[in-house]
Amino acid sequence: MADGPPHAALKQRVDGALRAFVEQEVGLLLEIDAELAPVAEQLRAATRHGKRLRAAFCYWGWRAAGQADSEALVRACAAMELVHAAAVVHDDLIDRSRIRHGRPTAQWALREALPRLPRRAAAAEALAMLVGDLLTAWAGQLFTDCGLPAAYLSRARALWAALARELVAGECLEILHTGAPPDTATSLKVVRYKTAKYTVEQPLLIGAALGGASPGLRDCFTGYGLPLGEAFQLRDDLLGLFGDPARTGKANADDLTARRPTALLAETWRCATPAERAELRRLLGSAAQDTAALDRAREIMRRTRAPARIERMIDERVRTATEALDRASLPRQAAQALTDLARTATSRHH
């Protein structure tokens, strides 16, 4: 294939690779005991949908290194989506979220599927945790069994370890700073480690390493991937408060009621008056139950112009990312695909 596939075609291939792998593994799980069917369904549900951005970044890291299209590489890219699926299941558990993509999260779906289970809520949460754990194990399994030569895979071993370490570090930092006085620098560090690195930078670097990329190309991908990954999460934070829940599939108040250390809340806090800060303290715990409280929190955010500053942060980071691409001598198709992905990842409405 001389030219790379458009994103929709690549997404279809990644979806197919994931579906085949998950069905094979679910079949083996159900051979152990048919009672595992509700768990199997949550494994399917966790991997059924997604934009497949992480797989796309991995794929174009490989292509930018001068490698040809490869079905084995597509399977390696699909492993990035299993990492994401595991992170989402664990994140929903940590945040006690009820809705994801418009559907019950794993722990809530398992509650509904197992109504007669003793201590149903605790059991459902434990089962959901194990769903996330198995997805993590599957990611490593699919990556190592993707069909690429062992010598290629060995190039990415250290990066795979770094991906896991940084993702867990970001989750831990978010937990440690949840409920603390909002601080923009702290929030941006959480963004970098919890989302930016495993969403853009590490998939790109893994694809590039698999393809034998030069150190210069890897530096380019860090210069592109970190700011773009941060912009991606900053956009997600804005959508979380100001997006349409019917399109985002999430409850608007989740970040506020959980007191998560988002940059949006930190920027609001930084420019709020003492009276507004006192009001925010009261509103943070009640926004989920009270539409008026959520609306008032949004009013304070707009008054302090926090959303506008987050938009500027997004624009600055996208510009930095695309300038890093412009400085690199990438194959035409890879350069165009990564430019398009920068827009897709940060201009979305859901």
Q: Residue 348 has what pLDDT?
A: 65
Q: Residue 266 has what pLDDT?
A: 95
Q: What percent of the chain has pLDDT over 70?
A: 94
Per-residue confidence at 233, pLDDT binned at 50, 70, 90? very high
Average pLDDT over residues 233-249: 81
Q: How far apart are the first and last CA of the chain?
A: 32
| HSE-up (13 A, CA, CB side) for residue 266 | 21
H or E, element range at 317: helix 306-326
**Res 288 pLDDT > 60:** no
Average pLDDT over residues 79-87: 97
Domains detected in the chain: 7-346 (1.10.600.10)
- CA nearest neighbour of 166 among 141, 191, 142, 144: 191
Average pLDDT over residues 12-37: 98
**Res 4 pLDDT > 70:** no
Question: pLDDT digits over 86-140, tens only?
Answer: 999 999 999 888 988 889 999 999 999 998 888 999 999 999 999 999 999 999 9
Q: How far apart are CA 225 and CA 322, in angstroms?
A: 10
Q: How far apart are CA 287 and CA 151, in angstroms?
A: 53
Q: How far apart are CA 322 and CA 315, in angstroms?
A: 11
Contact 306, 219 (CB under 8 A): no
Q: Residue 12 has what pLDDT?
A: 96
Question: pLDDT digits over 252-287, tens only?
Answer: 566 776 778 899 999 999 999 999 999 988 887 665
- CA nearest neighbour of 224 among 334, 338, 336: 338
Q: Is the model's pTM score more than 0.85?
A: yes
Q: How far apart are CA 200 and CA 179, in angstroms?
A: 28
Q: Residue 2 has what pLDDT?
A: 39
Provide the 3-class DSSP secondary structure of residue 122.
Answer: helix
